[in-house]
Structure 1
């Protein structure tokens, strides 16, 4: 009797300092844009699961908020989310930016990793930005002295099309078993949550100064219409009137731009026409209010 090939399935946490490329790597691995990206630290606020299927494995990647020193209740929630994930997974990917020196942020994460027994793979990201490739070997050697990694894999999350070496190393440490989710499922997040995140990403990219971290997005209506289009009504919350003015822009110009860019991404993801209705409201100091954090989905 022919023996069935072995299949593996398990959960992988993506951890690292803010802005090291966790979300970019997650999206590149699964081939879809689910985790939002910007050049601003602390873009990811919640733990988002993205699902990858290979010939012999199903890998659930948990893209976590960047571990940082929190400045408010939202920041505390984000760090707890990231740290809690380390206890619940089969493999940890510790992602570092090779263009940045190892600092206090990395030291803190290494301390956390020493407290868990989960296999840790060091992912050295942004190798495309290194002019002197010999520096990469020094960085890898330096980290290998700090921790006994299961493997060290250099990547360019932005430019690499596939990651066979990384996927192979991950699969080695996954438990044998059937897939948890259907083959065509790529995330555990509801569509309205993904829609809110994509709108927030555009605000992050198009605004400056204090505005980005003071915003939250709530999708209040997500409705399929008879003509096979989707109507989405969402509110962008800010903490001050001045921030509201910035997001709306002169004669509504910036809000219109946010809507156009978010709609384009949503139509690619949902494979249909989207009508996006955006509003902006002020909710003073919402990042320090437990009720507001729960309202926007930041709950334990």
Structure 2
């Protein structure tokens, strides 16, 4: 099964390469500049894959507030082009999205049919991308996930390990709750979905996939320090005490029952992969 992945340098794409190896052809800007109209379509035609995975995105949440045109291009327009090309070629498409399509004002778990109401440019452009993909290609699978971490790129785990090695006390937001999700677990879910779709299995539209148990950013940080063996006092603060250019949702706890029902993919325990990631970073000298 030949998998064409957009977003070569992102966490999910790199985890997919680790998971599926030679079956994955991952494209970065040098191979397919998604800022250029038509680039995605041309890449799909050139590679003629069995499965297309869009793991690319404009993910700089705060920067997107002042760079909406680029965020819209990468998060909405380019995925729509992929969806059109995939539909025309009859190739299954898996598109990675985000919990930030929600406003986080409910205490309930969010099912796929919950109302979307993004609070920031990043969430809004990702929401636009979801709609564009499904309008162009109703057979596509959209995988909403959250708080992605890995040994690759920049992410919360690596930031906490760096800060924890420098300081003995940190203040971390504690009223935003969701689910940390390992890129390796997302990659494994994508490989499972891709295999089943390649064999003609049903299942399309929106799916939620995030790690369990639910945590706040402060609780996530505390677990990182515990596993890494770092003695850091974490003070819990409210979102209003840590202002950022982009507003964040307070609750993005996703209901992940549908993906298990349709594809047999259970919700992962993020703490398991967190131990592996921290161990890998320690071997590389990136964690104390």
TM-score above 0.5, yes or no = no
Whichever of the two has the greater Rg, that structure is: 1
Higher helix share: 2
Query: More strand by proportion, 1 or 2?
Result: 1
